[in-house]
Amino acid sequence: MEANHKIRVENLSLRVNGHEILKDINVSIPENKITVILGPSGCGKTTLMKSMNRLTDIYPEMHVRGRILIDEEDILNTHKDVTAIRKKMGLLSQRPYPLPMSIYNNIAFGLRISGRKKRDLLDKRVEHYLKQASLWEEVKGRLREPASSLSIGQQQRLCLARGLAVDPEIILADEPTSALDPISSQEIEKKFLDLKQDYTIVLVTHILRQAARLADHVIFMYLGEVIEQAPAEEFFHHPRTEITRAYLKGSIN
């Protein structure tokens, strides 16, 4: 745990209609590592992730308190432009949501809204990010076709490329393989292992084996609370709490 902490969440609570969905969350997420958020469904994993890039802003019923520090800067209580905060993070959701435009424009969109509009530069960048998401070979001949014509697995990799194109430092991935077939899931997992050299990755999953394969660091949540956080080794081999042990044995779900 000597690594730098890219994200620190301090005393974060989130209420919806008087119902506390996140209860006093305190976690640290190390830089250039894969941090897995584990926990049974409904425990608040998605919500925690959404507060990290302020997607909670678009749900006015969500009341957020506490601090989230990214590079030591509180992103919750700031007058800084929220779009700049979000550009620091790429998001992969549970199922892919490509933009309703061509494959090319899915990548170029993020570049254009960041002010890069020169045609030859766009071409180069689009190719670069599609390669980074291992999608280039499959789509290089059909860049002008709609993204909706891709398979789900390809769409998810397109979403990854699209997220990388806004040049983030962090990748937030919310059960990114849950809609995918085993082969596509493997590709995404492999990609994450490559990408952690350059990115801080936060991965939500409820698949224990996936967590074991990928995690450097684990955060275990249960009913809106963080029960345990530890390096992966320690978490899987020496769980500290009774709930964690029960979860690892498969008796909570």
Contact residues for ligand ADP (CB under 6 A)?
A: 16, 21, 39, 41-47, 59, 61
Q: Interface with another protein includes 101 (CB under 8 A)?
A: yes
Neighbours of 53 (CB within 10 A): 22
Task: Select the binding partner of residue 153 from Mg ion, another protein, ligand ADP, none (C-beta < 5 to 8 A, by kind).
Answer: none
Q: Interface with another protein includes 93 (CB under 8 A)?
A: yes
CB of 72 to ligand ADP, least distance (A): 26
* Residue 180, token pair as written in the block: 């995918």
Residue with tokens 């979403």: 159
Residue with tokens 């990214």: 70
CA 21 – CA 16 distance, rounded (Å):
7
Q: Interface with another protein includes 128 (CB under 8 A)?
A: no
Q: Which of 6, 14, 27, 46 binds Mg ion (CB under 5 A)?
A: 46
Q: Kindly tell me which of 46 and 156 has the beta carbon lying closer to Mg ion.
A: 46
Sign of CA dihedral 82, 174, 17, 24: negative
Crossing angle of helices 152-165 and 119-132, rounded to 10°: 130
Q: Which is it for strands 200-205 and 34-38: parallel, antiparallel or unpaired? A: parallel
CA 148 – CA 62 distance, rounded (Å):
32
Q: Interface with Mg ion includes 177 (CB under 5 A)?
A: no
**Which of these segments, 40-48, 121-129, 183-191, 230-238, binds Mg ion (CB under 5 A)?**
40-48
Task: Select the binding partner of residue 212 from ligand ADP, Mg ion, another protein, none (C-beta < 5 to 8 A, by kind).
Answer: none
Q: Which helix (H) or strand (E) holds 185?
A: helix 182-195
DSSP letter assigned to residue 241: S
Q: Interface with another protein includes 136 (CB under 8 A)?
A: no
Q: Closest by alpha carbon to 169, among 45, 24, 52, 12?
A: 52
Question: By CB under 8 A, what part of segment 21-80 binds another protein?
Answer: 50, 53, 55, 58-60
Binding site for Mg ion (CB under 5 A): 46
Binding site for another protein (CB under 8 A): 50, 53, 55, 58-60, 83-84, 86-87, 89-91, 93-95, 97-102, 109-110, 113-114, 146-149, 159, 162-163, 166, 172
